[in-house]
Amino acid sequence: MPGYRRWLLLRAGGVVFVLWAAATITFFALRLIPGDPAEAILGGPGSQAGPEALAEVRREYGLDQPLAVQYLTYLGRLVRGDLGQSYSLHEPVASAIGEQLGATLTLALCSLVLAWALACALAAWSVRGGRIAWAIGSGLELVAAAVPHFWLATVLILFFSLTLGILPPVSVPGPLGIVLPALTMAIPLAGFLGQVMRESLLTAMESPFVTTARARGESEVRIFWRHTLRHAAIPAVGLSGWAFGSLISGAVVVESVFARQGLGRSLLSAVQLRDVTLVTGIVLVVALAYTVMTLVTDVADRAIDPRVRAVTQ
């Protein structure tokens, strides 16, 4: 057990480091781009700010302080758990994120589940359909993994909303509204997960334990679900942590196209408005979600794969 505790401690330290690095890089990256946030705060396009208004804004948000002071002030606040005030939303960053976090997490989780379902279904079908089905399956995965979210969203809207008329083209309250956004994110991810699974599926199918199972007279369906899939899932589960992070960045596009609430959209507009506190807050949340998900998948790996358990125990 000391080994396990040490492993966890190291991981926790890693989380803190990732968060600090994310906060610092975001802070300076945004400050290095030329441009004056004060101007953007005052309305941006089509409006023009008077000198008094600008001075007030700079004072209120500490933009008149030296960069180092702004950075230290910012870090100090972060340590106290204060994410600051979003100047583009006129509300605290924590509450702004709180309002949007649920929508993005729901979307990311639905997409992840859907991606797994699609990947497994395709694998289950193609593994039992002989050489041609296998080729079609892996071809579909290649295509799916490569399509850009933006294009896929447009195609799905054309087909399901305008041609068939069965799903709304923009987000609506209730479960119906999440179908197209989740599908848009799930399809490329399913292709990617499927490709990873397929490799190990092949190895598994030729492994002695499958031959043994067959010899015992287990049905092909049972062999697939109990043995080969379980084996093939291991690398894909490990990738799910990474996938979760990528889903949140994919949400930037998908949330905008489907006019869905969420962190991705907040991030986009916050970057455009040079709302440093909000951008950093969101990046921190994403970094946290990413590291936590990686931790979870590592734990899951231990549960699925006895070999990992043996190493980390």
Task: Tell me which residues in 81-140 interact with another protein (CB under 8 A).
Answer: 88-91, 96, 99-100, 139
Chosen residue from 23, 41, 234, 285 binding another protein by CB under 8 A: 41
Nearer to another protein, 213 or 253 (CB): 253
Nearer to another protein, 196 or 223 (CB): 196
- x/- mask, another protein, residues 212-231, rule CB under 8 A, reads --------------------
Return the residues of window 42-81 that contact another protein according to CB under 8 A. 42-58
Burial class of residue 3 in the structure, from the number of CB atoms within 10 Å of its CB (0-12 exposed, 13-18 middle, 19+ buried): exposed
Binding segment (CB under 8 A) for another protein, from list 18-26, 28-36, 72-80, 232-240: 28-36
Q: How many residues bind another protein (CB under 8 A)?
A: 72
Position 163, amino acid: T
CA distances from 255 to 4, 160, 242, 252, 261 (A): 39, 17, 20, 6, 7
Pair of tokens at residue 96: 């702004």
Residue 172 Cβ, how far from another protein at the closest point, in Å?
7
Instruction: Give φ, ψ of 217 to 5 degrees.
Output: 90, 15
Residue 228 Cβ, how far from another protein at the closest point, in Å?
23
Return the residues of window 256-285 that contact another protein according to CB under 8 A. 256-262, 265-266, 269, 271-274
Residue 96 Cβ, how far from another protein at the closest point, in Å?
7
Nearer to another protein, 86 or 210 (CB): 86
Residue 259 Cβ, how far from another protein at the closest point, in Å?
4
Residue 139 Cβ, how far from another protein at the closest point, in Å?
8
Q: What is the DSSP string of 193-249?
A: HHHHHHHHHHHHHTSHHHHHHHHHT--HHHHIIIIIHHHHHHHHHHHHHHHHHHHHH
Nearer to another protein, 42 or 300 (CB): 42
Q: Evaluate whether 126 touches 136 at the Cβ level (below 8 Å).
A: yes
Q: Evaluate whether 254 touches 185 at the Cβ level (below 8 Å).
A: yes
Q: Evaluate whether 105 touches 185 at the Cβ level (below 8 Å).
A: no
Q: Evaluate whether 283 touches 264 at the Cβ level (below 8 Å).
A: no
Say whether residue 249 binds another protein (CB under 8 A): no
